[in-house]
Amino acid sequence: LLGGIGYAGWLIYEDRHPVEQIEADPTKKTLVILGTGWGSVSLLKKLDTENYNVIVISPRNYFLFTPLLPSCTTGTIEHRSIMEPIRSILRQKKARAKFYEAEATSIDPERKVIKVSDISEVRGDTLETEVAYDMLVIGVGAENSTFGIPGVKEHSCFLKEIGDAQQIRKRIMDCVETATFKDQSPEEIERLLHMVVVGGGPTGVEFAAELQDFFEQDIKKLIPELADRFRVTLIEALPNVLPSFSKHLIEYTESTFKEEKIDIKTKTMVKKVTNKTVEAEATRPDGKKETVVMPYGLLVWATGNAVRGIVKDLIAKIPAQKDSRRGLAVNEYLVVQGARDIWAVGDCAVAGYAPTAQVASQEGSFLARLFNNMAKTEQIEDNIRELSSSLNVKPGNSAEVTRQIEEYERQLRRIKDIKPFHYSHQGSLAYIGSEKAVADISWFNGNFASGGGLTFLFWRSAYLSMCFSTRNRLLVINDWLKSKVFGRDVSR
């Protein structure tokens, strides 16, 4: 603990105060970074900001540690514990970078400008303006996919942002309190306490697990009359949940869910949603299809990603992107194909990898290295040019100057030799409830799959080490301890 406090103190001491930051140089190129998610923030973390005029634009003025978002829906973790203000991140940079809390709505690759829109509650209006760039990094992520299924947008909760987790937390308690209200019919109680999760990917699985934990460990103790009424159903269109995990872990997850009394309905595709029911087409074991209607109190929609409007708009403007359906096609240096001076990272880029936080974060770090090297290259090329011109003016020094030029050229060759982006998969982890987790880890070129209580401790320590800051880490530990000792907070 003392070590932790000391480390935290050291980190705070190491932080720069904004007045100590050097001013951005207006003669340098303007690098605009869109977004404050995994890709953009890992780029910012490693970028030498004194080389460019850096402008960050995002409607969200914080970085969100998304792997622990499902835990916020039940209050195991408080939302501010996994948020890191972008202002604190920028304060640690050597040169000052600008941040605009606004939404980028469209990009004009010809004029090299971005249209931004700032919705201000204080002003009570929306201000539209343009920001010019020399170099642009798009890290705007993706939005929730609904596949145009009727009723999904209107009636479901999603699980992407802090606001979504808060909405779910309120809705769970609303269902519980309404179900216990005087004179409710048994059908209505059954509906209100039926929690439906659509999508058996890691998001749906982790949320269903957290929800069942919340009920078993807290709600049931506080309101025992609900003991046999609360139900969690996970609906998945494919034959199994967690399709990206190994077979053994899929089976382990499914059997753990059975023990936890989470009902998994596989080969079931949701086709329609109303304010009280989910309508799905289920494939029976004999291959016949049947329509099932499930009344629900809470519906959480976790069926993956869709392309954002700003990205669709840019794709339509670049002829080389005409076949891009899932995002901006990028080359091995993450340059948007068919565009000049535009790079893309994370879920909005299609580089041939799954849309995960791990990929986005490695892409961001790669771009930081690339930009740092590009700036160094320009600097060295300037130096060489200057020395070469002095060679003619002062011929007496020629041996020394030539030696310096050769040294610079050697440095240049070393820097310019930057390898294309290569993703190194460290593994996948998912929490599956009752203090168990599954892990598919890449280990010395091999794979290591494990599930259970020990894996749960590994899951916790891995996520803790990945948290953005020491402050986040301490807050998350505190939340875990608090919910273990006092139970989760069930107030709305």
Which residues make up the interface to ligand NAD (CB under 6 A)? Answer: 67, 147, 149, 198-204, 235-238, 243-244, 269-270, 302-305, 354-356, 428-430
Q: How far is the CB of 69 from ligand NAD (least distance, A)?
A: 8
Q: Are 33 and 342 in contact (CB under 8 A)?
A: no
Three-state SS string over 220-286 comes to HHHCHHHCCCCEEEEECCCCCCCCCCCHHHHHHHHHHHHHCCEEEECCEEEEEECCCEEEEEEECCC
- Nearer to ligand NAD among residue 201 and residue 452 (C-beta): 201
Block residue for tokens 């930051």 = 21
What is the DSSP annotation of 148-181?
Answer: T-TTHHHH-B--SSHHHHHHHHHHHHHHHHHHTS
Give the nearest distance from C-beta 147 to ligand NAD in angstroms.
Answer: 6
| Shortest distance, position 178 Cβ to ligand NAD, whole Å | 26
In angstroms, give the least distance from the CB of 466 to ligand NAD: 11
Q: Which residues lie closer than 8 Å to 162 by C-beta, 6 or more apart?
A: 64, 69, 72, 79, 83
d(CA 128, CA 123): 13
Nearer to ligand NAD, 164 or 479 (CB): 164
The candidate with the shortest Cα–Cα distance to 434, out of 259, 267, 302, 269, is: 259
Minimum CB separation of residue 161 from ligand NAD in Å reads 13
* Nearest position to ligand NAD, beta carbon: 201
Phi/psi at 469 (5° precision): -135, 170
Q: Look up residue 101 and give its two tokens.
A: 């809390």
Q: Measured from the CB atom, is 114 or 359 closer to ligand NAD? A: 359
Closest distance between ligand NAD and the C-beta of residue 238, in Å? Answer: 5
Q: How many angstroms separate the Cα of 188 from the Cα of each of 180, 296, 297?
A: 10, 9, 9
Closest approach, Cβ 262 to ligand NAD, in A, equals 15
Measured at the CA of 354, the angle between CA 339 and CA 336, to 5 degrees, comes to: 5
Q: Toward ligand NAD, which CB reaches closer, 202 or 364?
A: 202
In the complex, least distance from residue 268 CB atom to ligand NAD, rounded to whole angstroms: 6
Query: In what order do the strands lie in the sheet containing 289-295?
Result: 268-273, 277-283, 289-295
Nearer to ligand NAD, 61 or 283 (CB): 283
Nearer to ligand NAD, 270 or 351 (CB): 270
Whichever of 116 and 429 has its CB closer to ligand NAD, that residue is: 429
| Nearer Cβ to ligand NAD (55/351) | 351
Q: Given the complex with ligand NAD, which of 93 and 308 has the nearer CB atom?
A: 308
Smallest separation (angstroms) from ligand NAD to the CB of 138:
19
Q: What is the DSSP letter of 217?
A: I
Taking CA atoms, 219 is separated from 73, 110, 214, 216, in Å, by 14, 57, 6, 7
What tokens were used for 396? 């007496």
